[in-house]
Chain A
Amino acid sequence: METKKSSEFKKKSIFYKISEVLVTMASKPSGFIGLSILFFHILLAFSSPYLAPYDFKAIDPSLMLQAPSSEYWFGTDSLGRDVFTRTIMGGRTALTITFFGSLIALLWGGLLGIFCGLVGGKVDDVVMRIVDAFLSIPWILAMLLIVSLLGTSTEVLIPALGFFYGKGIVRVARAATHDVIAKDFIVSARARGHSNLSIIWNEIIPNVRDAILVEGAMRWSWMLLGFSSLSFLGFGVSPPTPDWGLMISNARGLMSFAYWAVIAPIVGLSSLIIGINLTADAFAKALGIDRSTKAPV
């Protein structure tokens, strides 16, 4: 019998907590830089279609490989397209796909992890063995196979990425649940006779939430890295959609005379990944979790 009053109370405290965490994150230089970069990229992703000076897919052979100038700030690529336009729009697909992919990863990884941690015993053993087996196949091989057989549409990429990057979250959520379960407040709730669902919802989730969220933030940056690698290999975004990974891959062959076409997307992608990483680091520190001990699996 959850009353309205107490849920209102909860909501308030969550907003308060978020703002508190953000302030703590921004109070250190690295966190501030990370947050600023991330906000800048998100802002850019929303506004770039309106800011772009040229059409991102307009091909003009007469403008091939022009050096940066006042007209074409970052020069043009091998098809005569404006590099600046393509660079500021190049993060949109990656950001969207990886954001939703991370959400999926967070959801299934977190829930399965909590379940395993809670149930323990044989079920836990079997599930973890399967998760381990999935972990031992290099993600890139599996992703490439899926993409090459099913295509590169968003409907394939988001769940596939979400699946492969959720495996690590299972482990973290399971470990966090194990830690919490041994605590006396869980024993106390069990002794009082609360139902399993109520124990999960009221006692376990609030205490493993932080660890899972930090892991999710971390996954986001790995996923971005992975997705860009796919694009780079030609298995991600399909042309002519502007995407950093693809741009780097296309311009790479000609970089001895047109380095600008490589440098611009490199700066775009690197800054976003570093931004997310610094943010995830600051987030972990603000919540009191040391993420540098975690392996990148």
Chain B
Amino acid sequence: MEEIIQKVKNLSVGFKSQKGHEISILKNITTDIKKGETVGIVGESGSGKSTLALAMMGYVKQGLYKMEGECIFNSSNLLNMNNRELEKIRGRKIAMIPQNAGQSLTPNLKIGYQIDEALKLHTSLNKNDRDKKISELLNKVRLPSPETIALRYPHELSGGQQQRVAVGMALAGNPDLLLLDEPTTGLDVTTQAHVLELLNFIAKDTGTSMVYVSHDLGAIAQVSDRIIVMYSGEIVLEGPTRDILQQPIHPYTYGLLKSIPKLSLAGLPDSMPGSQPQPGTKKKGCSFYDRCNLAEDKCKKNSPDLEYINELKTSVRCFNYKKLIKQKSENQSNIKRNEKNIKVNEILNLTDVSISYAKQKLLDQIFNKITDTNPTVKDINIDINKGETIALVGESGSGKSTILKSIAGLLRTKEGKIKFDKDRVLSNDVKKRNSSDLRAIQLIFQNPDESLNPNHTVEEILAQPLKLYFGLSGEELKQNIIELLEKVRLGKFYMSRYPRQLSGGEKQRVAVARAFAAKPDIILCDEVTSALDVSVQAAVLNLLQKLKEDFGTTYIFVSHDLAVVRAISDRVAVLYQGRLCEIGPSKNVYKFPSHPYTEVLLGAVLEPDPDIKPKLVAEDIVEDKPPEKGCCFQGRCPRFLGDQCKNETPPWQIGDNGNAIRCHINIKDLEKKQNGN
């Protein structure tokens, strides 16, 4: 029998509501972490996964309290220890790698000091040895020039570097157990893949046990040996990674896996109805009952127990799991997109667009000349056809949202023209556009919390465009609002609600309804699903696709998530540092030959399948601004040629399958090299 390093027994954690009710966030959790294994805890926001990880360090967040149960580490219960005893375990035996390293490193202390602090507390090394150890640790997490990094403050590092420092700090005490709370969330795709690869290496190298908490099954699949799926504060499924991902026998996990868009599959993912219940709203029965398509009457009345199935080595909390045993999730047909609506009528045309932020910052004002020759976004030429969905893809700083803003007239272009509907040039100032142009282009934003006025009811929110563009009032206005709500599958009773009374998915539906209220020709979607949980994301994607097919709307869809883009778009444009790298039909962009940057991006995508490993072909350096001449990707390119790439702007080449690539390497050679990899 393997050695158990931590045992969680019947753990319930909760809080007291203002009315004095006890509301649990974790309900009766029991599980073991074995020595040397990596356990992935996966769940959507509010499933209690972070609370569980923190409890494994004997830490309960302010406002919460332990209701019952224990977390046993080295045969003592962490949850009964006093602070003195805990200080000896935290950082030394159990260490934590936090979600957002940028906010988890103390801003006024240098990196070196913060690691040194951990070393001082948990090792008996003297000053000299500690200094050596700091360099060693920073080296181990693959940070360039450790000696200089140690003298920096946290804010001087990039997100990926901060995360590496956090890993190094956690390793300082040589812990037996590492807890990782969403350690790659918020990082760029390529950075995320690199950090994960590092974590995998460390797990093998040191033999530490790890608990990896994430909402992202793709990341979990890459690192963990065993998966625990949480829903509404309960473990609903637990078992070996491969089995769980290939044969998810809990309906929630089954649905979750199907709602994840995948690179290998075109078309939209299946969606799950509804959303996770708020803590305290569900009294009896299975917590997944409302969203489950296998539900029966008994599920409403009784909550199922977590049952261990010997032949599958899996525990499951469902009465009807047997129905799912033989089904394989991959075999389910994805919803096909209807591509017939696309006409080859050009509706929007960007010609030589460049945009500069130069005037906005004081420091930039001083260095005016430099930024002017090197604008944030440069030379963007895109034709957009009526009824198509074109996606702009890139990492943070790629200028994709900037382009959207200037199409909406919110940011002035420095050069170039934006032409709409039969070559009419749109003014680059929203104030100068006429009402019908304004109506024709609508925006949907990333975060519905910010894009809906918290002081307006849904009715007032939807009334705004209707009043503004169509002058509706009275009964007619109300009728239109009800119709709009129906279109986004929300009931009439939502009219009197405030945004704070809606779930994330519902809010985004209201935002979608508001955009469609204008009967627009083009909708600009700015990362519209990235703030949503996966199961909700699939529903919103499906809704967008359905509405588009009904109304013939054109979407310009900005996202950092290549799989989502694959699912929804007809055409993809890949951007790096505000420059276009590749553009073409999405089915071709996802095939070789690709621009080297596209290749890097595609290689870094994490699929929820332990057998598909990411390919890391380039360093995840962060560049502050685009190079002044030559190819925009020269700094990170894995196929860098030398002076030619440094000095000459690469030419456009069009491949056999219709995608255009901006690269010095001949497109045929590119294809050979990439397929040979």
Give the B-binding residues of A (Cβ under 8 A). Answer: 1, 3, 5-6, 13, 183-185, 187-194, 202-203, 206-207
Contact = CB atoms under 8 A, between A and B. Distances in A.
10 contacts: A5-B474, A183-B451, A185-B453, A187-B445, A191-B408, A191-B441, A192-B442, A202-B464, A206-B453, A207-B453
Nearest to A182: B450
Interface residues of B, number: 34
Contacts of B430: 190-191, 193
Given A1-B467, A183-B450, A191 B410 contact: yes
Given A187-B410, A191-B442, A194-B464, A207 B450 contact: no
Nearest to B518: A192
Interface of B: 408-410, 430, 433, 435, 438-439, 441-443, 445-447, 450-457, 460, 463-465, 467-468, 471, 473-474, 477, 514, 518
Contacts of A193: 430, 433, 435, 438-439, 468
B410 A207 contact: no
Contact of B464 (A13, A189, A206): A189
A88 B560 CA distance: 69
Contacts of B456: 202, 206
Given A3-B473, A5-B474, A185 B452 contact: yes
B411 to A, nearest CB: 10
B450 A185 contact: yes
A189 B460 CA distance: 13
Nearest to B472: A1
Contacts of B473: 1, 3
Nearest to A183: B450
Q: Which of A3, A188, A202 has the most CB of B within 10 A?
A: A188
A184 B450 contact: yes
Given A184-B447, A187-B443, A202-B464, A192 B438 contact: yes
A125 B163 CA distance: 39
A203 B414 CA distance: 29
A8 to B, nearest CB: 12
Query: Secondary structure of the A side of the interface?
Result: helix
A190 B453 contact: no
Nearest to A10: B460
Nearest to A3: B473
A195 to B, nearest CB: 9
A211 to B, nearest CB: 12
A194 B465 CA distance: 9
Given A1-B473, A5-B474, A192 B453 contact: no
A206 B455 contact: yes
A189 B464 CA distance: 9
A1 B474 CA distance: 10
A206 B471 CA distance: 23
A194 B466 CA distance: 12
A294 to B, nearest CB: 22
Nearest to B451: A184
Q: Which of A187, A193, A203 has the most CB of B within 10 A?
A: A193
Given A187-B410, A207-B455, A194 B468 contact: yes
Given A188-B445, A191-B410, A191-B443, A3 B453 contact: no
Contacts of A203: 453
A133 B445 CA distance: 41
9 closest cross-chain pairs (CB), A and B: A193-B438, A206-B455, A184-B451, A184-B445, A184-B450, A185-B453, A191-B408, A3-B473, A183-B450
Contacts of B453: 185, 202-203, 206-207
A296 to B, nearest CB: 27
Contacts of B450: 183-185
B454 A1 contact: no
